[in-house]
Amino acid sequence: MLVAGVDSSTQSCKVVLCDADDGVVVSSGSAPHPDGTECDPAAWWDALQAAGDGLLQRAEAVGVAGQQHGMIVLDGDGEVVRPALLWNDLRSAAAAAELIVEAGGPQWWARHTGSVPAASFTVTKLRWLAEHEPDNAARAVAVLLPHDWLTWRLRGGMGERERGQRATPPGGRAGPQELVEMVTDRGDASGTGYFSPAAGTWLPDVLTTAVGHSMLLPRIAHPAEVVGHTAWGAAVSAGTGDNMGAALGLGLQPGDVVVSIGTSGTAFAVSSTPAADPSGAVCGFADATGRFLPLVCTVNAGLVMSAIAALLGTDLAGLDALALKAQPGAQGITLLPYLDGERTPNRPEATGVLDGLTTHNARPENLARAAIEAVLASLAEAADSLTEHGVTCQRVLLVGGGARSPAVCALAPGIFGAPVLVPEPGEYVALGAARQAAWALSGRAEPPDWPARPAKQYDGPAEPQVRQRHVALRDQTASWPEG
| Residues forming the active site | 242
Given a contact cutoff of 8 angstroms between Cβ atoms, the answer to whether 221 and 152 are in contact is no
Amino acid symbol at 21: D
Given a contact cutoff of 8 angstroms between Cβ atoms, the answer to whether 88 and 10 are in contact is yes
Please state whether the peptide bond connecting residue 274 to the residue before it is cis, i.e. omega within 30 degrees of 0: no
Q: How far is CA 447 from CA 287, 358, 397, 433, in A?
A: 13, 55, 21, 11
Task: Compute the distance between CA of residue 411 and CA of residue 416 in angstroms, rounded to an integer.
Answer: 9
Given a contact cutoff of 8 angstroms between Cβ atoms, the answer to whether 4 and 17 are in contact is yes
Annotate 415-438 with DSSP letters as a single string.
HHTS-EEEEPS--HHHHHHHHHHH
Reported as type and span, the H/E element at residue 265 is: strand 265-268
Classify burial at 352, counting beta carbons within 10 Å of its beta carbon; exposed 0-12, middle 13-18, buried 19 or more. Answer: middle
Given a contact cutoff of 8 angstroms between Cβ atoms, the answer to whether 257 and 383 are in contact is yes
Given a contact cutoff of 8 angstroms between Cβ atoms, the answer to whether 278 and 106 are in contact is yes
The single-letter DSSP state of residue 282 is S
Q: How many CA atoms within 13 Å lie on the side-chain side of 110?
A: 14
Annotate 50-99 with DSSP letters as a single string.
HHTTTTGGG-SEEEEEE-SS-BEEE-TTS-B-SPEEPTT--TTHHHHHHH
Handedness of CA 232, 237, 240, 245 (dihedral sign): negative
Task: Compute the distance between CA of residue 100 and CA of residue 429 in angstroms, rounded to an integer.
Answer: 31
Given a contact cutoff of 8 angstroms between Cβ atoms, the answer to whether 371 and 404 are in contact is no
Task: Compute the distance between CA of residue 270 and CA of residue 252 in angstroms, rounded to an integer.
Answer: 7
Annotate 188-246 with DSSP letters as a single string.
HHTTSSSEETTTTEE-HHHHHHHHSS--B--EE--TT-EEEE-TTS-EEE--EEHHHHH
Q: How far is CA 276 from CA 81, 101, 111, 403, in A?
A: 33, 17, 6, 29
